[in-house]
Structure 1
């Protein structure tokens, strides 16, 4: 159960740290403190509503700060009956911080996205109003559905494209949409549901949600979203487009709006297990933090052995030479343990030598896949600089890759990870097996 009454819940939040953070998003304030906002969720008992807030100095160790709001806003509760708030999105617009939150109940599309504003991520947060709503049996009168059903008004993402602001939102039941916002107020300017961006067929229950759209180096946009069930098979895929409103396609050119059975989307992150390490199950609902020349994928994941337990994880994100996002297979360990800046990333193909723990993300993306310890069988290697490479796999497939710095918690050593996207739709990632103390 959940509750909006703080007095009714006795939670030991001081011990939570990164645990119990679901659908997270992170921002950085002017003083360098990171703030994490997440769904009202707690694996193990009742939880109060109002959007969980944590803070950190390094994106690694998190301290529970409290709740952004005193509970579910009255208008959202009246519409949805939601006992808690989901999937907050926090963005700075000029001198104002805006938090878009979702109110809903599991399995229903009677939902609402609302907006609160604050002078600082720590608050105080003030309600500004409801942005968009949906109902389970049909959308609000005056709007028109896309596809074979209306979208679900949850999982907000604010995208700023010059003078235009867009709310990217939606989930199961109708796909992902982009609705134009008034930049001045942050409230809806266009007519709901907006422009269809992506959807999946009914035979997989339309299992697609948690969208995040970000600009690509050199122009255009990437849409990162989560496929399948948040309980056990969540994983992250991407499509790219020249416009915020699409059309988004994957690396094989498949349109993410195609709901005729094509399982489109290029893999970014899936469940996995490195030798000697914990199993990562159902990573997903990712946001991207951009700061100080770096980008990070911030997402939740579940323990392979205890799938009801969830936590926030952060991974370094980079772009291939041809502009596709990839992430490290190892979580971010903090600036004290990582090589920076990107100019220090490898430019010599010699970094590819040695033994690697390797994973084909596309092989079985819905499971906790084990890695294979092997040498990289690559030829025709081209170094683009700053960690960017192109090569040919031994089966002839051509790949674009990024080699990223990382810290291996299994050995306590700095090492390298890579992620490679090839022209056959595969994403292959790995961690170099390195003796302790050897970079």
Structure 2
């Protein structure tokens, strides 16, 4: 706020300085013109120059009003003969400067209308001056004085006003283009964030609900015969539900504004949480063999992606294969993270559960999410059935030391 006020004050000061400079030029041209002198007294040059230049000093506060004032003042003093023949174009310099600001801030229709009105007023004023005022002026005192001519005056003012309008219009177009680009980038950032949060929720809920569904099915089938297994299944469901709620709370916290009250931040999952994923899958009947080789600590952002890819791959095994053997390998060498999840397929030759297409198929949201996470780092992703049976998921995530794509 203070910076905006300081900048506005600096612009007002600049306009005031420009107004003083233009007033001095106009006063000098009236007193010592290139053509016949004005019939007005020499002392009148000061108030005339001040009136003509005043709109420049306050043009930022009321651009449209000051354009009307500047144009009316230039037209009035020209018709009244208070200007210098051969230098009437200086009288409309304030109009041009205000017109530039109007073109840079107002709509193109409004600024074009302002240009048309100012040009018409200037042409009318010059013609009136050369018809009614100029014939009565004293001839040039010396041959070196330049003869005045209305076509030259009209042409100079026309070029001056048109150039000012074009420059202002170009500035406004560039400003609008930049604003649209900024809005587009902001919208793209919001869309990317929504996709990221959707991936997070999909991975969290998909993994947890698959595990809960499996344990609930087991509990339902053995409720009468083996009540101890029911308690064990309910304990897994309880633990999974609590951890899922905690992770959902963390993800949804990203959607809150900075001013909203928040509870203590929950750390994002990472490499240290991979054993917990394996334990959950084992509780659902999948024999998981986890191997982690970490030669260098992973940046937090990459660690989350690795965790989510492993989580989704295990979720697919629990959901679409059921009891099976699965090998999870994560290899980190400081430059890239390589993930491989391989299962042996359903036991006893049982086909994958109907309706899932074997791990969700290549069009499933799980594989799409894993592929998107890999693509964020410019890595490679591959998933498909193995010739010897089962399914294989492989991902390679190259990364820079700061956690961005390599």
The two structures share one fold, judged by TM-score above 0.5: no
| Structure with the larger helix share | 2
Give the TM-score of the pair, scaled to structure 1: 0.22
Give the TM-score of the pair, scaled to structure 2: 0.23
Q: Which structure has the greater CA radius of gyration? A: 2
| Structure with the larger strand share | 1
